[in-house]
DNA sequence: CGTCTTCTTGAAGGTATTCAAACGATGTGG
DNA sequence: CCACATCGTTTGAATACCTTCAAGAAGACG
């Protein structure tokens, strides 16, 4: 439960993620302004909560390293996973609306995040016009992302959802310089199922089927994509987009 | 196809929707600044497109009167409804991310909208700090709304989705001063189904069942909610929220 | 008034879920 | 280091739910 907090000097302008994270497209001068916003870097261990649903919204968080899920609790005690986040991605934008975090954010592996106090962000945004536009874009893209998930949940069958999910992970990993076709799942079958609106057994069965077809190789959490084409063909005709998530 | 455009003098500061729409919570002075942003009011007839997916993003649109749906086209030619919008609500925020509208926006009845050119909005936001915060809140709430739909699609059964849908409509209508328990559906069964991830037959059957149970009265598009309690009980335990949509 | 669209309802079928059991991996304590 | 408990996963069989196919009824519109 306790989040071990370490104060680490962080500078957007020197961060290896600056081409991927919030600074994308900012000029050097504006970028340096961002440095002043970041309060500190924070380390979390697998299973730690970054923030809880219902807490007062204070900060956005950018992931430096690691992997997170966000979940919303249901009245009957079960959780629904609303998203998976990896390095360079921003969490907490749902909190702006009502000054309360809607989601829990939980580390799925040891992770490190940059904390961006929203009050300071707002302040900076006023002084740096390019950042204002940029930040609105990021929020809009979160909307687009969520709408793509809506389409996935509303239109696709289990096979198609899993295919879209794997392709999306693959693409995001590739963007970060990792292998696109050989990776380790950071989440359990149950978490995948929760995200995709399926039961864990269905996820397991469907992965097994992909494995039998020779489209992927599954060994526990180790996934290899052997025939991306086949997966893409499954998804095509459903959402029209391979960047669903 | 052609959108008949009428130039109507519009003033946020004198609009009856100012407590509901973008101006919510703005001070008088800031409110008057908004007037300068609105290019014109635009009338649409039932079936008219307000904007098309793929078009260059130029403006946000606030609904003065009427009712809209937004849809995303799938590769195989079918549409998925991503939202229903009524007076005081803002459409087009998905366009900010990539300067392209992601959705089609289509009037489901004769409607009137205020056009807010985004370039002017950005400009104004720089000069009016309270509007900046306010606008971010609105975007965040769109994110929350979409995540609630995700939960609905991922967790709920047909009955629960319909119940949540009806309760949400009811609540939004009430907010606008209409009867909460007696209203006309603006959309077809197929459009409801598309939005809820169900087939139109399932929507029809489920409404009939609610009717038989005495929870609602259905006469074609005329809906009366007779036992809101029963509908709420259905939804409870699934999302924990009655403001799903 | 006739045509077209939308809606309702039934029956058959398919897909994902539920229930259940067993396996494997992981981690703990003896 | 091994035995054991636990958690996550796989797989099968039965079931539930929604969809598909089909036909008829009711409004909407010209």
State the nearest Cα–Cα gap between A181 and chain B, in angstroms: 25
Q: Which domains does chain B have, with CATH numbers?
A: 12-138 (2.60.120.10), 156-235 (1.10.10.10)
Task: Return the bridge partners of A85, or none.
Answer: A68
Listed in sequence order, the residues at least 6 apart from B77 whose beta carbon sits closer than 8 Å to its beta carbon are none
Whether residue B139 lies within 8 A of chain A, CB to CB, comes out as yes
State the nearest Cα–Cα gap between B83 and chain A, in angstroms: 9
A238:B151 CB<8 A: no
> How many Å apart are A33 CA and C3 C1'?
68
d(C-alpha B187, C-alpha B190), whole Å: 8
Q: Which of A82, A103, A151 sits opposite B80 (nearest CB)?
A: A151
Residue B196 has pLDDT above 80, yes or no: yes
A132:B122 CB<8 A: yes
Q: Which residue has the higher pLDDT, A160 or B2?
A: A160
d(C-alpha A126, C-alpha A113), whole Å: 24
State the nearest Cα–Cα gap between B140 and chain A, in angstroms: 5
**For the stretch A166-196, what's the b/e string if a residue is b when 16 or more beta carbons lie within 10 angstroms of its beta carbon?**
bbbbbebbeeeeeeebebebbbebbbbbbbb
Per mean pLDDT, which range of B89-93, B132-136, B181-185 is the poorest? B132-136
Q: In this structure, are residues B21 and B11 in contact, taking their beta carbons and an 8 Å threshold?
A: no
Whether residue B219 lies within 8 A of chain A, CB to CB, comes out as no
> How many Å apart are B166 CA and C16 C1'?
26
Residue B75 has pLDDT above 70, yes or no: no
**HEC profile for chain B?**
CCCCCCCCCCCHHHCCCCCCCCCCCCCHHHHHHHHCCCCCEEEECCCCEEECCCCECCEEEEEEECEEEEEEECCCCCEEEEEEEECCCEECHHHCCCCECCCEEEECCCEEEEEEEHHHHHHHHHHCHHHHHHHHHHHHHHHHHHHHHHHHHHHCCHHHHHHHHHHHHHHHHHHCCCCCCEEECCCCHHHHHHHHCCCHHHHHHHHHHHHHHCCEEEECCEEEECCHHHHHHHHCCCCCCCCCC
Determine the pLDDT at residue B4: 46
Determine the pLDDT at residue B245: 41
Whether residue B125 lies within 8 A of chain A, CB to CB, comes out as yes
- Chain B, 1 to 30: residues with Cβ < 8 Å from chain A are none
Dihedral angle at the C-alpha atoms of B3, B4, B7, B8, nearest 10 degrees?
-100
Whether residue B97 lies within 8 A of chain A, CB to CB, comes out as yes
A74:B144 CB<8 A: no
Whether residue B122 lies within 8 A of chain A, CB to CB, comes out as yes
For the CA atoms of chain A, what is the radius of gyration? 18
Closest CA to B176 of B13, B21, B8: B21
Nucleotide C24, nearest residue via CA and C1': A220
**Res. B148 pLDDT band, cuts 50 70 90:** very high
- For residue range B83-126, list pLDDT tens digits in order: 999 999 999 999 999 999 999 999 999 999 999 999 999 988 88
Determine the pLDDT at residue B139: 96
Averaged pLDDT of chain B: 89
Determine the pLDDT at residue B14: 80
Determine the pLDDT at residue A114: 93
Whether residue A126 lies within 8 A of chain B, CB to CB, comes out as yes
| Residue numbers in A near B93 (CB within 8 A) | 140, 143
Across B172-189, average pLDDT: 95
Residue B238 has pLDDT above 90, yes or no: no
**Strand D footprint nucleotides (protein C-beta < 7 Å):** 8-13, 17-22, 26-28
Q: What is the pLDDT along chain A (245 residues), one digit of tens a residue?
A: 444 444 556 778 878 888 788 888 778 888 888 888 887 789 999 999 999 999 999 999 999 999 999 999 876 667 899 999 999 999 999 999 999 999 999 999 999 999 999 999 998 888 888 888 889 999 999 999 999 999 999 999 999 999 999 999 999 999 999 999 999 999 999 999 999 999 999 999 999 999 999 999 999 999 999 999 999 999 886 544 444 44
State the nearest Cα–Cα gap between A151 and chain B, in angstroms: 7
> How many Å apart are B198 CA and C18 C1'?
22
Q: In this structure, are residues B146 and A150 in contact, taking their beta carbons and an 8 Å threshold?
A: yes
Determine the pLDDT at residue B9: 60
Q: In this structure, are residues B223 and B173 in contact, taking their beta carbons and an 8 Å threshold?
A: no
Which nucleotide has the shortest C1'-to-CA distance from A191? D8
Q: Which of A136, A146, A154 sits opposite B147 (nearest CB)?
A: A146
């Amino acid at each position: 439960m306790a989040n071990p907090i370490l104060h680490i000097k962080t500078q957007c302008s020197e961060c290896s993620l600056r081409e991927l994270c919030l600074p994308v497209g900012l000029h050097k001068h504006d970028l340096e302004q961002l440095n002043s916003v970041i309060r500190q870097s924070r380390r979390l261990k697998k299973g730690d909560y970054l923030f809880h649903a219902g807490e007062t919204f204070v900060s956005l968080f950018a992931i430096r390293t690691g992997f997170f899920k966000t979940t919303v609790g249901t009245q009957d005690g079960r959780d629904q996973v609303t998203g998976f986040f990896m390095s360079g991605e921003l969490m907490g934008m749902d909190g702006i609306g009502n000054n309360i975090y809607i989601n829990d954010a939980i580390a799925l592996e040891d992770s490190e995040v940059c904390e961006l106090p929203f009050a300071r962000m707002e302040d900076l945004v006023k002084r740096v016009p390019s950042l204002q536009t940029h930040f609105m874009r990021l929020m809009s893209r979160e909307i687009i992302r969520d709408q793509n998930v809506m389409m996935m949940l509303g239109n696709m069958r289990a096979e198609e959802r899993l295919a879209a999910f794997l392709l999306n992970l693959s693409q995001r990993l590739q963007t970060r310089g990792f292998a696109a076709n050989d990776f380790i799942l950071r989440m359990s079958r149950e978490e995948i199922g929760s995200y995709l609106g399926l039961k864990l057994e269905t996820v397991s069965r469907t992965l097994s089927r992909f494995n039998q077809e020779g489209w992927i190789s599954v060994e526990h959490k180790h996934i290899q994509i052997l025939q991306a084409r086949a997966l893409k063909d499954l998804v095509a005709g459903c959402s029209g987009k391979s960047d669903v998530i």
